[in-house]
Amino acid sequence: MALVISKNWIGGEWSIPMNGKTIINNPSNLQEQVGTVNLSDESDVLQAEDAARKAQKKWAKLTGAARANYLNRMADGLKENLEELATLASSEMGKPIGEMKGEVNRGIHLLRYYAGEGVRSNGNVIPASDVNVMQYTKRVPIGVVGIITPWNFPVAIPIWKLAPALICGNALIWKPAEIASLTATKMVEIFEKSGLPAGVLNLVVGKGSDVGKTLLEKVNLNAVSFTGSSVTGSLVAQTCAKRNIKYQTEMGGKNAAVVMNDADLEKSIPMVLSGAFRSAGQKCTATSRIIVESGIYDEFIEKIQKGVAELNVGPALEENTYLGPVASKIQFDKVKSYVDIAHKDTTIVAEPKLSINSEGYYVSPIVVTGADSDHQLVQEEIFGPMATILKANDFDDAIRLCNKTVYGLSASLFTNNLSSAHRFLDETEAGMVRVNQETAGVEYQAPFGGMKLSSSHTREQGQAALDFYTETKTCAIKYF
């Protein structure tokens, strides 16, 4: 693959920012350079603000149907370039190619779904108290929106923000994660071909602590949509609250899969494994805690051991890879530090020896027992291929353990008991709750987001995204 360089796209022009460079090596094979990320400074961010402000009003004046045409062409472009984009993204951040193609496909569906919103109802007629008054609501664009995204879904997360924001008539300044900036550049090159008017979408590549901070502190934004860690999210929220900028922060998780005595283990184990280890555990909805009812505990351990032994760890571009490397040196060091803690404090149930021919950021999938429910392995987001098993005495104990976390993103129950299923959906403190399905996995047409420290209590995707990217105007006309 030819070397890729990141660029900014501001006001419809490509430029290479000059505030330093980061070399990106393929996490599946550190000998292979994928490209160079060129970093922006404050002046690039301010230029993007200017471009977005100039473009927004005209974009908002178009009909929803006209904006939808652009989104549909963006989807067409992604479809034509699916293989190339997925290959670049897998090489940049290590997600297995099969999953990455699925992610690009998700992006295509998201764009088409939100294109449809351009011609759907955007308000309600509300009876007025007075005679001869027509009172109604309409959604209006919020203005210029800052979009700050993480690296773990380098295609789908940006699109689930960009697509609803654009269809609602906003102009955008997008700052992707540093280690997903090559993919971001390629995506915007594809989107450019849709003919999007200059300044409606602006890409500014750079460090969070620099470009992200400037965007939040110096730009006259009307809204910010952020996905990333809870630590950064809390900074984003504080800055936005001080400046009265509308914000949403979608953040970390410590998600539990609960397996009851009556679960169908043959069907449940593959879903638990997929939730914990696909994408090397680097999904905000990944299963990080497995809570198992005591009656099947020993059988479950035996089966999960066998299941983990069969997982294929390998380079992201090999089709039969189940989990690839973690995304970067920072991720590798962080996950390894938790693996060291596991070796010191817990019993290792599964940690197969790896045999891979290339040097990369590979971490063996690891399952542990023996950590109590307060232990840092059970409480902190690891964001890697590690799961901790906890034993529950009964259903109530399982719910107690499941809710014993500061996070509240997703949770799953495996059971054949209808009452347990309903009680779980009622009593679990998480935004995404599922029965007999893995903790990871979202549908673009349904609201997505968390409770507690996982979110600013806003929701993305589905119709919920339209609420964030618009303001509601209540209109009234008296006629005589």
Q: Just list the catalytic residues.
A: 250, 284
Complete DSSP assignment for 123-183: --B---SSTTEEEEEEEEE--EEEEE--SSSTTHHHHHHHHHHHHTT-EEEEE--GGGHHH
Say how far residue 468 (Cα) sits from the centre of its chain: 17
| Residues in region 417-456 near ligand NAD by CB under 6 A | 450, 454
Q: Taking CB under 6 A as the rule, which mask of x and - marks residues 377-406 in contact with ligand NAD?
A: ----x-x-----------------------
Quick one: 178 or 293, whose CB is closer to ligand NAD? 178
| Residues in region 154-193 near ligand NAD by CB under 6 A | 157, 175, 177-178
21: nearest Cα among 48, 41, 49, 47:
41
| Residues in region 59-98 near ligand NAD by CB under 6 A | none
Q: What span, in angstroms and rounded, lies between the C-alpha atoms of 323 and 239?
A: 37
Quick one: 316 or 350, whose CB is closer to ligand NAD? 316
Helices and strands in the chain, H and E counts: 15, 21
148 binds ligand NAD (CB under 6 A): yes
All residues at 6 or more sequence positions from 414 whose CB lies less than 8 Å from its CB, including other chains: 257, 258, 259, 260, 263, 264, 268, 271, 272, 435, 436
CB of 406 to ligand NAD, least distance (A): 13
Binds ligand NAD by CB under 6 A, chosen from 26, 227, 288, 458 = 227
Quick one: 238 or 294, whose CB is closer to ligand NAD? 238
232 binds ligand NAD (CB under 6 A): yes
CB of 316 to ligand NAD, least distance (A): 18
Segment near ligand NAD (CB under 6 A); pick from 120-128, 204-212, 295-303, 365-373: 204-212
Binds ligand NAD by CB under 6 A, chosen from 209, 337, 347, 393 = 209
CB of 339 to ligand NAD, least distance (A): 18
Query: What backbone phi and psi angles, to 5 degrees, belong to 360?
Result: -155, -175
Tokens of 384: 């890697």
| Residues in region 242-281 near ligand NAD by CB under 6 A | 250-253
Radius of gyration of the chain (CA): 23
CB of 347 to ligand NAD, least distance (A): 27
395: nearest Cα among 293, 289, 304, 480:
293
235 binds ligand NAD (CB under 6 A): yes
CB 176 within 8 A of CB 147: no
159: nearest Cα among 174, 145, 138:
174
Q: What span, in angstroms and rounded, lies between the C-alpha atoms of 71 and 163?
A: 7
How many amino acids of this chain bind ligand NAD (CB under 6 A)?
31
323: nearest Cα among 378, 278, 370:
278
Segment near ligand NAD (CB under 6 A); pick from 144-152, 316-324, 352-360, 471-479: 144-152
CB of 208 to ligand NAD, least distance (A): 2
151 binds ligand NAD (CB under 6 A): yes
Strand (E) or helix (H) holding 47:
helix 42-61
Interface contacts to ligand NAD, rule CB under 6 A = 148-153, 157, 175, 177-178, 208-209, 212-213, 216, 227-229, 232, 235-236, 250-253, 284, 381, 383, 409, 450, 454
